[in-house]
Structure 1
Amino acid sequence: MRLLFRAFAVVVGLSLLAFYAVLALLTYQFLLLLWSVRPDPAVSVALVSAVVLLTAWANYRFGVPRLLASVDAMPLAPERAPALYRRLDALCDRMEIATPAVYVARLAAPNAFALGGPRDGIVVVDRSLFRMLSADEFEALLAHELAHLEGYDGLVQMFAISALRTVVGVLALALLPVALFFEGVARATAWVRGTPTATPLSNDEYGAAGVVTLVAVGLTLFVRAYSRRREFAADDRAVEVTGRPLSLARALHRLQQATESPLSLFFGMPTPTPAPADDTQLGRLLSTHPPLEARIERLVKKAEQRDAAARSIPIR
């Protein structure tokens, strides 16, 4: 009986191997057919670029309303916060951008973020910020978000993510025949060994999948590094516009305290609080924002440098 089962398992394993081999071959032939009818390189690049742009536009067009709805964001009318809008309009005049729509939301932690560009921007602020921050601190935080709108940061990152997904998808499609073949080898081997429920991945399959994973991770790290640089750039631009680096430093410090302190729950802070930041090297590489401590330290140094420069100016 056992010999009969072994024979049956071998037959099933070889059949699976043949099935996956034929499927891999057909996929390979199909990809060759697509390659043979490919347009010239300029048209190919234009088509890929069009796909990336269309995907990014669709993500923005349909993603923004879903995001606003997910955080219960409601538009803040100018008559409800005239002082805020006066400061916001003054900042926008200095930066030569259109005044964005302001939404008040219930975020997972006290924070603010910007969506869109300099002509159709949206700034979302957590409702707790109105209690936490002084007027100057709030203005500095708004200037930081306006700097993101001025630099098209959100749109650039959205296009970058769409390009990343397109590249990874094309690469995965190109390696699909290899992946299918070694999937068949793995399944056939499992049946021949008498363990049909186990499908160990072969080293070759790890190699095929590893290429896609390596490219995806590399591009992701590049996008995250760009995002971290833009956070520093937005801090610098906010300081340039407001002239008050310590106001932004204090605002960031208050956000950090509210996130870390369990007492924030008793002062109306939104729940749940986010998980602590990952301070490992990998965590820093995968983060879209630099550590708040680093940003605060840079701002404090800027304030010290301004004070030192002011003291060094001779009085005539």
Structure 2
Amino acid sequence: MRHTGLKLRMLFVGTILFAFYAAIAGVALAMFGTGIWPIVAVGTLLFVGFQYKFGKWAALRSVGAEDLPEEQYPEIHRMVERLSDDMGIEKPKLKMARMGAPNAFATGRRGAGVVVVGVELMQVLDRDELEGVIAHELAHIRNRDVVTMVLGQSIAAIVGIAVQWGVILAGDNDFADFILGWIAGMVSQMLVMIFVLAISRYREYVADADAREHVGSGEPLARALEKIQSGNERVEDTRIDDSTAALCIFDSEKGLLRSLFATHPPVEKRIERLRN
């Protein structure tokens, strides 16, 4: 069975997220009656759909992504076609962007995926290193990582909003209740996101392993990560915002609190795994 560890983790975290969602839905039903159930169900689907569509659009727009011309970059297009065929997915759209630092990311789902390659990345990586990075991004699309993360983030947001308004409605609706509700909602959302982000970090390891499998070695991607890390450390500012950084192959944010809410594992550990 492929990625047994990931599937077990997804089952565990999925159960927890479903429990959070079921608890919030149960409270809503108790407060407003069973007639609200269709509204809860439809509202959830619309909210998740909006998060997915808007997130995809915002990520591409934030870096100014443009189509990667096939006539200028035929080798990259052939590389993606070969890797996509090997992974059993449709070739995603290829875009390029000036991000201010070497990086790349994938968004979308199978059949509607997009891979964005930074111009800076193409300038610093050798061909086999770029192949490792692209294989990593294609693995995210094949494994439905973006859809999974959007679903998890949406449930966290729904829980936070529900707790916030639950606290407000349970009080006297004065200013103190609004402040207390906002704090309670933020804390609730952060607690749910801890589980979601733990899965996100593991998914990076899985995408690295998939890239190693389809490229034939982990060394090219390991060298690419070293160059990407070095390139990002020399840059003070990029066009990559926090939400888009969560999609990228490399996230440069560090710190104790950040490590708890990180979307990526430490790059040193990823390189070590790839070389082992």
Would you say same fold, with TM above 0.5? yes
Within 2, Cα distance between the matches of 1:125 and 1:299? 21
Letter of the 1:292 counterpart: V
CA contact (8 A) 2:229 2:252 kept: no
Aligned with 1:64 (options 56, 66, 69): 56
Letter of the 2:34 counterpart: P
Matched length: 241
Whether 1:174 aligns to 2:183 is: no
Q: Secondary structure at the match of 2:138?
A: helix
CA contact (8 A) 1:53 1:159 kept: no
Structure 1 residues 221-247: Cα deviation after superposition (integer angstroms, max 9, x where no partner): 111111111111100111111111000
Aligned with 2:262 (options 270, 287, 294): 287
Gaps of 5+ in 2: 1-26, 242-250
Change in 2 beyond 3 A, CA 1:72/1:87: same
Within 2, Cα distance between the matches of 1:278 and 1:135? 29
Letter of the 2:229 counterpart: Q
How far does residue 36 in structure 1 lie from its aligned partner after superposition? 5.8
CA contact (8 A) 1:140 1:238 kept: yes
Whether 1:278 aligns to 2:254 is: yes
Within 1, Cα distance between the matches of 2:195 and 2:164? 19
Gaps of 5+ in 1: 1-31, 187-200, 302-316
Larger radius of gyration: 1
1:118-267 to 2 correspondence within 5 Å?
A: 118-180=110-172, 183=175, 211-261=184-234
Q: Indicate the residue corresponding to 2:12 in structure 1.
A: none
TM-score scaled by length of structure 2? 0.77
Within 2, Cα distance between the matches of 1:225 and 1:121? 23
TM-score scaled by length of structure 1? 0.68
Within 2, Cα distance between the matches of 1:124 and 1:79? 17
Q: Secondary structure at the match of 2:71?
A: helix
CA RMSD of aligned residues (A): 2.9
Q: Indicate the residue corresponding to 2:275 in structure 1.
A: 300
Q: Indicate the residue corresponding to 1:103 in structure 2.
A: 95
Whether 1:115 aligns to 2:90 is: no
CA contact (8 A) 2:63 2:239 kept: no
Whether 1:93 aligns to 2:85 is: yes
Q: Secondary structure at the match of 1:79?
A: coil
CA contact (8 A) 1:133 1:251 kept: yes
